[in-house]
Amino acid sequence: MELKKAIKERRSIRSWHEKKVDMSIIKKIIEYGTWAPSACNRQLWRFVIITDNKIKKQLQDAGAQGWITKAPVTIAVFYHKDINSKNHANIQSASAAIENILLLAHEHSLGSLWMADIGDFNQIKKIVKAPKNFTPVAYILLGYPKHIPTAPKRQNPKDIIGHNTFPGTDISSSTYPEKWTTENIIQFQEKTCRATTAGHKYFKYPKKVTELIEQEIIPKINGTNLDLFAYDGHTSSIIAKKRKIELHECSNEVINFTKAVMKKENIPEKNYKFILGKAEKIPKKNNSTDNITIILKLERFPDKSKKKIIDECSRILKPKGKLIILYRNRTSLGWLNKEYRLKVQKRNKIDTHYLGMWSIGPYYATTEKKMNKLMTHFNIIEKKGFLTIPFIKTALDKTRIFCEYQLIIAEKKHN
């Protein structure tokens, strides 16, 4: 197979047929894979071929992502822990072999997945009886592919290639939106929506949020409704079950992902329509919409951008049109635990969370005071707070103190 074709065609596969893979093919692929360069030519890589379902299950229990039990074959790649560890040359060597193996697998019509999220290294070593000086680097999952996803978009070369100097500006890894540009947040989501959920799993908010949307938001929506930043699609799908909506998103990648979620939730296609725009520039005419909903999404953007988004809502809404915002309240019991992790445990880098909530990019709960400031073009007509503990519900809902979720319903002012 031509090299360029193989490089472009290879995809990360996450569903496989049960069909067995010939052991001789696997061994051949690994053998060719080791024609990769290695630091000081030490070739201190080791490969464990795992086909035993019991072992795969043990590896999953040790923290590997669940795909491991779905693929017929897993190759656990190890490298020496100390020799050539300077400059991560050991990991680089193993990685060179891994990429070769992925391309060779593709040549053999096998679908592979490079998995770094493998779990607890010590447990893994125990399970496959690895000696103490070898460290696991990654798993390669293999099998005949059931579903081959479309290729995720690659970055524009002009954004990533610099000549004699570094291209572009820095990219934040912070969980605080204030440390990001809005453009970078959108780019993050564009790429991560596939990797995190892989079109199979997606983030679902607690049942409380579903109830809240059903009881407090949907009855308030009459006429046309525009939902901003659907992303994971969960909250939008709850609305689309009952009301026709337009969904504004900022990239085709995210739109495709949200569409897949809508399908999974069995939302009839006639109930929703996507529009592609920019975070702060929504391609809709002035005074054209009856309602806009922003449900647990505004907290993803820096404050400056929040203001521009709300102003944009005022442009689009008809006079007296309703803006309905549900947001996570920073001064709440529920957020305390997050604050503890962010501030005390210093888990304030997106990577320390790996997947999960921060897979949507930076996110930081906001406050009622800050929200009030954004509403210059609106009259607030209703405010409510919601606790996640039902038994103290009524007392605190009115005061909104300590409530984890807060709802603002505002009406566009007449100019």
* Contact flag: residue 195 with ligand FMN (CB under 6 A): yes
The answer to whether the beta carbons of residues 84 and 99 sit under 8 Å apart is no
Cα separation, 226 vs 223, whole angstroms: 10
Cα separation, 323 vs 317, whole angstroms: 8
**Piece of the chain touching ligand FMN by CB under 6 A; list 29-37, 112-120, 167-175, 241-249:** 112-120
Number of residues that bind ligand FMN (CB under 6 A): 12
Q: Which is nearer to ligand FMN, 356 or 390 (CB)?
A: 356
Tokens 């519900």, residue located? 393
* Contact flag: residue 32 with ligand FMN (CB under 6 A): no
| Pattern 12-31, ligand FMN, x by CB under 6 A | x-------------------
* Contact flag: residue 142 with ligand FMN (CB under 6 A): no
Collapsing DSSP to helix, strand or coil, 392 comes out as helix
Cα separation, 347 vs 365, whole angstroms: 16
Q: CB atoms < 10 A from the CB of 357, how many?
A: 11
Cα separation, 408 vs 383, whole angstroms: 5
**Piece of the chain touching ligand FMN by CB under 6 A; list 35-43, 115-123, 273-281, 388-396:** 115-123
**Position among 32, 114, 205, 402 found at the interface with ligand FMN (CB under 6 A):** 114
Q: How many residues does the chain have?
A: 415
CA-closest candidate to residue 261, choices 237, 277, 293, 229: 237
* Contact flag: residue 40 with ligand FMN (CB under 6 A): no
* Contact flag: residue 152 with ligand FMN (CB under 6 A): yes
* Contact flag: residue 116 with ligand FMN (CB under 6 A): yes
Tokens of 318: 């008809």
Spell out a b/e string for 276-294, using b for 16 or more CB atoms within 10 Å of the CB, else e.
eeebbebebeeeebebbbb
* Contact flag: residue 328 with ligand FMN (CB under 6 A): no
* Contact flag: residue 319 with ligand FMN (CB under 6 A): no
CA-closest candidate to residue 229, choices 246, 249, 210: 249
| Pattern 82-101, ligand FMN, x by CB under 6 A | --------------------
Collapsing DSSP to helix, strand or coil, 362 comes out as coil
* Contact flag: residue 237 with ligand FMN (CB under 6 A): no
Question: Who's near 211: CB < 8 A, 6+ residues apart?
Answer: none
Q: Which is nearer to ligand FMN, 113 or 408 (CB)?
A: 113
* Contact flag: residue 283 with ligand FMN (CB under 6 A): no
Question: Least CB distance from residue 406 to ligand FMN, whole Å?
Answer: 35
State phi, psi for 116 to the nearest 5 degrees.
Answer: -95, -20
Q: Which is nearer to ligand FMN, 114 or 205 (CB)?
A: 114
**Piece of the chain touching ligand FMN by CB under 6 A; list 39-47, 194-202, 243-251, 372-380:** 194-202
Residue 91: its H or E element: helix 89-107
* Contact flag: residue 11 with ligand FMN (CB under 6 A): yes
Binding site for ligand FMN (CB under 6 A): 11-12, 65, 113-117, 152, 194-195, 198
